[in-house]
Amino acid sequence: MSSTPSVSSPAPASSRAFTLVRTAEELHALASRHAATGNRPTSGENRPAGLPARASRTAVVMTMGALHEGHATLVRTAREHVGPDGLVVVTVFVNPLQFGAGEDLDRYPRTLDADLETAEAAGADTVFAPAVDEVYPGGEPQVRITAGPMGERLEGASRPGHFDGMLTVVAKLLHLTRPDLALFGQKDAQQLALIRRMARDLNFPVEIVGVPTVREPDGLALSSRNRYLSGGERRTALALSGALFAAADRLAAQQALRARAASLPGSESRAEALSRLGEARAAADAHAVAQASEGGGADAVRAAARAVLDEAAKTEPPLALDYLALVDPADFTEVADDHDGEAILAVAARVGTTRLIDNIPLTFGATK
């Protein structure tokens, strides 16, 4: 049952009618019509740098609805990747498998009319909004995808079974939408890492694209759950991004100190060299930085973030920290103090009744 919503947003670049579809059969029919009318090479002028010319492609952006600017960014990025002749599909499905006992499945916002407007304005061709029995005919699936050890850490430890449910629905939606590429936000870093791992381990013929986190002007990461925050709770919630930015600043300062200290005469000890720089931060951190290896400083970065979160725990309303972790993006295990290379600093906390997550990518040893 296909329909065309009445919206005032401009038509997507392809000039094809924007549609809402409810079943996989409707979606596949739409894709077939699209292939018959638009399956021609994408021009180099509209193709993202580095992508070869090829026939029209399909991109999918999977959501649970309540679309915001972060989702719109994913859709626009999808359009950039597939070009004006590609097919951009947005899925809207609140997946019951990834909500645990006491979580907000019933409370989760359902705003389909607004979602249609947002998706069309951002450049989508269609929204696929199936009912639960379309995705799970006959009830909850007896066979599911298991996230493995990485799915038991951080978010997995806080929300048992969440990642199994997430991967199961992502796998099903990849089969139903049949995309060439699927785009996910880096705000859900552990989710993105697991989806990439699933696609690689199970040989899914799809490119997984991560898109940087979109933030509001005050730094808060965009999330459908932000709407639950009162004014006071929102002020407290800013500690999440504040902690991440403080950690990034500390890492940058450490690496700058280390680089400058390395330029001083080699006859001096590292602590003496750092202290001689005459900066307040250098004097305070000289001994700690001196004891770290060339790629080190992870503990100081964690400490900088935790200091911000500890202060937020004393405010009213308070922030209740779930976890703060500095992890290897390959498996989400904690990195050692002498870690060298890529890392993700991830945080989760509750403010009032709302649970929020955020993260930031960091690179240790970049100045070497």
* Residues identified as active-site: 71
CA distances from 20 to 17, 71, 77, 219 (A): 10, 17, 20, 33
CA atoms within 13 A on the CB side of 325: 20
Tokens of 124: 């989508």
Provide the angle, in degrees to the nearest 10, between the axes of the packed helices 162-177 and 24-38: 50
Helical (H) or strand (E) element with 209: strand 207-211
**Contact 298/343 with Cβ under 8 angstroms?**
yes
Q: How far apart are CA 186 and CA 348, in angstroms?
A: 15
**Contact 134/28 with Cβ under 8 angstroms?**
no
Which DSSP string do the residues of 46-82 spell out, in sequence order?
A: GSPTTPPP-S--EEEEEE-S---HHHHHHHHHHHHHH
Beta pairing partners, 305: none
Residues in the chain: 368
- Give residues with Cβ within 8 angstroms of 5, minimum separation 6: 18, 20, 113, 116, 117, 120
